[in-house]
Amino acid sequence: MRGVLPSRSLLGEKRFEFPKSLYAVEDSLRFIVADKPDAVIVDFFAGSGTTAHAVMRLNRQDGGRRRSISVTNNEVSAEEQAGLRSRGLRPGDAEWEALGICDYVTKPRIQAAVTGLTPSGNAVKTDYKFTDEFPIEDGFEENVEFFTMTYEAPRPIAHHRSFEAVAPILWLKSGATGTRIDRAAGEFAVADTYGVLFDLDASRAFLDTLVTSELVRMAYIVTDDDRAFQMICSELPPHVEPIRLYESYLTNFKINTGRE
């Protein structure tokens, strides 16, 4: 098995006891996606972020545009939990969460891989080995975003302050490329690859905007009116897929006009 890249190389200290071998994961992924430069790799148990790191290396080697989606909790080890509890801390406290695997290992490890800098801002003075040897401090030309799953209270939802909580989901479903619509401002909004129609009264302007863009692939229509939704769908450009946001969506995220 290829050697393991020690966590202290990227983080400046040892934060993870048993990281997978970066190079072994890279070899395994190459076997599956070598001829798929636009593949999406999903890791539901991200741990220290080795899979995402390996995808970056593969992209650098062949100019690929593969994307990696890493999913993890923010679990704190049993040993650290004992020490934190002895200090009167509990889950949800800032000091507790700061030692969770996502905040303490995954995020800083991926950031270090991309930037070539340790969390303290020092260049990583180690080279990658085997298939593609180069200084780790060179980093990667990759874009990375971190999202946190939250549970929204009814009051902010009722006062139209929760679209930001679901905005990343719409962006991810649309391919996770280009700009993102972060706020429900105005009657509609169109990003690089998708659009959201909040007010049906603005459907004509919305449709006219979509026609001018060849990159938009999805249109989210916020409505509980079956006929109105069908009429808008019938006028969408052939390359745009309609997605209806209704019923439970309107109940949980009242982002259109505030009407029940």
Residue 110 has pLDDT above 90, yes or no: yes
User: In whole angstroms, what is the distance from residue 193 CA to residue 24 CA?
Assistant: 35
Rounded to 10°, the helix 107-115/50-62 angle is 20
Backbone torsion region of residue 38, taken as left when φ is above 0, otherwise alpha when ψ lies between -120 and 50, otherwise beta = alpha
**What pTM did the predictor assign?**
0.72
Q: What's the pLDDT tens digit per position in 214-258?
A: 899 999 998 878 899 999 999 999 999 999 875 444 444 444 444
pLDDT, mean over the chain: 85
Kindly list the distances between the CA atom of residue 183 and the CA atoms of 24, 79, 196, 250, 256, in Å, as whole numbers in the listed order: 41, 41, 10, 16, 12
pLDDT of residue 84: 93
Residue 208 has pLDDT above 90, yes or no: yes
**CB neighbour list of residue 44: distance below 8 Å, 6 or more residues apart:** 71
- The pair of structure tokens assigned to 124 is 């990583």
User: In whole angstroms, what is the distance from residue 101 CA to residue 75 CA?
Assistant: 6
pLDDT band at residue 160 under the 50/70/90 scheme: very low
Residue 259 has pLDDT above 50, yes or no: no
pLDDT of residue 258: 46
Tell me what the mean pLDDT of segment 110-121 comes to: 93
User: In whole angstroms, what is the distance from residue 147 CA to residue 161 CA?
Assistant: 18
Residue 88 has pLDDT above 70, yes or no: yes
